[in-house]
Amino acid sequence: MTVSGVNSFAVIIAALAGFGFGAIWYMVLGGVWLRAIGKTEGDFKQNSGLAKAMPFVIAIVALLVMATMLAGIMAHLGSYTVRGGVIAGALIWLGFVITTMGVNHAFGHAKPMLTVIDGGHWLAVLLIQGAVIGAFGL
């Protein structure tokens, strides 16, 4: 299904692929990530119900918005290929995502490892989303 030049099915698959990648990324790097934010697993165990689920809800909504915007940019550029999607994802990450994270983490005095972990995650997500959207074409 295409809406305004954006393949809605591709957007959903891209968002889910990004979510799945994030689950694996943070399972593998969870301990390092916890140290980078200065917390322990126990800090999160006190959360229950909605407080525990809300970050996942926000993540999937954000990934859907991200995939929709990436697809829209690709449609605007007329670049619906895997290569075009990967390039668009990389440039969006470099121009907007890592720059924003770098500023926020610098002012928040975050450990550099947090920027590496989170920045690497968002780079991979955008590359995956771009490739998926490009693979589906129009």
H/E stretch holding 77: helix 50-77
Largest Cα–Cα distance in the chain?
Answer: 48
The helix or strand, by DSSP H or E, that contains position 107, with its residue range, turns out to be: helix 98-107
Element holding 129 (H helix, E strand): helix 112-136
Residue 2 pLDDT > 60, yes or no?
Answer: no
Place of tokens 């593998």: 28
pLDDT in tens, 83-121: 999 999 999 999 999 999 999 999 999 999 999 999 999
Is 23's pLDDT higher than 70? yes
Taking residue 100's Cβ as centre, other Cβ atoms within 10 Å add up to: 11
What the block records as the tokens of 123 is 């780079």
